[in-house]
């Protein structure tokens, strides 16, 4: 659930608080797939959204090593979009909601709902990942 809060500026006028914030390190904890299946493949994903609009994504599908993807992201209100370093757009934009340490991304293309929890990406994931 997304909560709308208000904050006071120095002049005492109320103004709406900013929407959800993606900044930080997150781990995928749940996927609610509406239109595709993963054919039994286990998926593990960590993502770090940095201030300034860059990201690092670590993804492992099935067994093996993580693959590292980098690029840029933009949050326009509650719509998250991005590009990989290869200049290719993400496969979807996402409607974002945040509840404490949970970040929920809903794909505008498939309707898939991905839930992430705030966490620190393990150094073992970062140091052994293949760079894409």
Least confident of 6-20, 71-85, 95-109: 6-20
Name the residue with higher pLDDT: 21 or 117.
117
Burial zone of 117 (CB within 10 Å; 0-12 exposed, 13-18 middle, 19+ buried): middle
What is the pLDDT at residue 18? 54
**pLDDT over 70 percentage in the chain:** 79
Q: 1 lies in a domain?
A: no
pLDDT of residue 41: 73
Q: Residue 38: which domain range?
A: 19-131
Tell me, yes or no, whether 5 lies in a domain: no
Q: What is the CATH number of the domain that holds 103?
A: 2.40.128.280
In a domain, 123, yes or no: yes
Structure-block tokens of residue 116: 């992430």
What's residue 43's pLDDT?
81
Q: Between the CA of residue 97 and those of 15, 28, 33, 60, what are the distances in Å?
A: 20, 14, 17, 24
pLDDT > 90: what percent of the chain? 53
Within-domain flag for 8: no
Task: For residue 14, tell me if it sits in a domain.
Answer: no
pTM (2 d.p.)? 0.74
Look at residue 104 and tell me if it is in a domain: yes
- Number of domains making up the chain: 1
């Amino acid at each position: 659930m997304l909560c709308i809060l208000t904050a006071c500026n120095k002049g005492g006028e109320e103004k709406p608080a900013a929407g959800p914030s993606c900044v930080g390190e997150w781990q995928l904890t749940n996927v609610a797939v509406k239109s595709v299946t993963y054919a039994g493949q286990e998926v593990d994903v960590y993502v770090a959204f940095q201030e300034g609009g860059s990201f690092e994504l670590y993804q492992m599908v099935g067994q093996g090593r993580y693959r590292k993807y980098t690029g840029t992201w933009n949050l326009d209100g509650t719509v998250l979009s991005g590009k990989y370093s290869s200049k290719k757009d993400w496969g979807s934009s996402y409607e974002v909601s945040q509840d404490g340490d949970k970040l929920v991304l809903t794909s505008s293309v498939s309707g898939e709902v991905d839930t992430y929890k705030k966490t620190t990406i393990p150094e073992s994931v970062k140091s052994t990942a293949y760079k894409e």
